[in-house]
Amino acid sequence: MGIHLGLIQDIPDIFFTVIENAHQVYAQSPSTGHPDEHYVGGWIHVVPIGMLAHAGQTPSFLSDVVLFTEEGLGIIFLSNGTNVDFGLSLRIDAILSGNLQQDYTRSAAQQSDVIDSLIIIPLAILAVAGLVFGIRNRMKYKPKFTKIKIIILAILIPLLMLDIVTLFRFPAITGQGWVYILDWWSPTAVIRLFVMFIFGVTTAWFVYTKNRQPKVNESM
């Protein structure tokens, strides 16, 4: 940051040329898709505000660097988690500029965790309930097929078979191996995949055992 902002001058001359070129935006410079943003020399240039930025992350860490070359100001944000919002660097700049009233915005990863959790928790509770009540029903009653039960199971069983195939083929479908998925995906997203399948299994089990006809006494 010090070299890019010109605060450190004791560097080989060739580096000055590289840095100078990296700070220039030309008409042919690649665009990021936004009309005011270009990618030059490893930096995303936000032209209207004269900002250079670059961010990166691994499954466990996140970093974000922003440079305001005209102001001689640089901010680097490091986090030991990947569920934070990249925009925090800009809000830090706003705080340094005197704007102390900042709102915290959930990142996309945090939003995903919240949504997945709202799905996982009730489905997990219902899956346990379906298993427990299914066992109780099986102990008290002899299962008897009815038209309604056959229709429900005829829908659930193919869906479960499709779900099994999807889980086994998931790396091929997404183009990502399980190692990558377990490393990079949010844990709640991976858990949701399996909780939904377990919920389907226990629901099918509960439907199968749901019956009000008492067991036939084998000795009679």
Asked if residues 138 and 209 have their Cβ atoms less than 8 Å apart, the reply is yes
The mean predicted confidence, pLDDT, of the chain is 83
The residue with greater pLDDT, 219 or 203, is: 203
Asked if residues 197 and 164 have their Cβ atoms less than 8 Å apart, the reply is yes
Per-residue pLDDT of 172-204, as tens digits, reads 877 888 887 877 787 888 899 899 999 999 999
Per-residue pLDDT of 114-151, as tens digits, reads 999 999 999 999 999 999 999 998 888 888 888 888 89
Candidate ranges 3-7, 30-34, 176-180, 182-186; pick with highest mean pLDDT? 3-7
Residue 176 burial by Cβ neighbours in a 10 Å radius (0-12, 13-18, 19+): middle
* CA–CA separation, 23 and 26 (whole Å): 10
- What single-letter DSSP state applies at residue 186? -
Domain spans in the chain, listed from the N-terminal domain onward: 13-96, 108-209
% of the chain exceeding 90 in pLDDT: 17
Residue type, 16: F
* CA–CA separation, 8 and 12 (whole Å): 11
Asked if residues 66 and 1 have their Cβ atoms less than 8 Å apart, the reply is no
